[in-house]
Structure 1
Amino acid sequence: MKLFEDRISSAVAHVRIVLAMKGIEVESVPIAILGEEARNRSADYLAINPQGLVPALLTDDGALITQSLAIIEYLDERFPEPALLPADPAERALARSIALVVASDIHPLLPPRVAQRLGAIPGTDPTTVAAWNRHWIEEGLSAVEALLSRQQPGPFAVGSAPSIADIVLFPQLVGAERVGLSFNQWPRIAAVVPTLRSIPAFAANAPLPRS
């Protein structure tokens, strides 16, 4: 399998964490998404992924899978151990809900293409874009905190083992730290961060800082 990726992407981090957890080897195909070296809008990559986004996974049988949650679901079905969803139906739904808060409600508002578009609007500047990013991160993580507060605390976001909730949440937490947000305002989130950082699959695959 081939993974088209840029290590600065939190969505790529979702997939890399899963690959590491399950011990799956793939061929990495770097696709820069920022700066003069950006290739994601090139004709050759758009022919592979019409959205021009990363990650994208090319399977051994030639199927192309885009969007990190779809890739995670594919990998979990093909390689079921360790499972990425809790066994309890209510916990499974909660894990999916938390993953979707991040992947569907926070992440789409923050990628470089959104920042570039905002910066092109007359009257905006880097300070405005930074405030935009902080607002949506804080709003989304506050919602995650409220969801976590409805269950008994544990070492992970949901259940007794890392799940899709942790996999999608962790890279966003790394991003939140990098824009100067403190986890003190989210005590339930803060409680799971040390556990996730202690797991090599998470720590080694956090999104890299943007240069």
Structure 2
Amino acid sequence: MTNPCASEIFKELSKGSRNLTDLTGLGGIDIFPGMLDLFEQSGKFDYKIKNGNIDPRLGGKTDIINGVLVITLSNDYLSKATSLSVSRTIIHETIHTYLHKQLSYYTRTDLNTFELLDKYFKTKYPLKQDYQHATMSHFLLGMAVSLYNWHKNFGPTGGTLGFDYYYKLSFAGLIKDGTSELLDEAEELIPPGSSWSDIDKIIQNEATGNYESKGEKCK
């Protein structure tokens, strides 16, 4: 990883720290323990991260290269995105690495997650990205908690954007492969009074670091 901002964020997120699953200050948020366990475990298995020239439509991607799980973040994306968006992308791609692990008989640790993956790739979604994102939708709230806690502990504004903002950012990427259409599983989780177009605008603001973004540019 040659991008210092992304490298630092990755180090902060990859410790598997309980700070990232802290519910203090979030009131009576309804979250089941297994959802947070995933974020505890995600920093405790082997994978690598790098930056490179990939499809500019992507902020990042996860591949298996020579038997090793590798996250690649787009150089173009990193040159524009806020640190909040980069953190969100690393969380998203780290969950992809976790889900890849759950598909392996020898390394899976969570049968509930494996069963969710099995359900989607055997029935509803034929594409790998789609069934992984459908599974990821079940962990949307946990992703938002992790993002909020990263921003509270390491971000420049200390997690003060309101939990709804972190929640909406966590929808990024939960779309049908090659489209801008939100997966049904994610559509059902949109907060009352909001729409996918409203949420997508927030995601794009942070990804491009424009004047409407609330995070600070990743430097």
- TM-score, normalisation: structure 1: 0.32
- TM-score, normalisation: structure 2: 0.32
Structure index of larger Rg: 1
Q: Which has the higher helix share?
A: 1
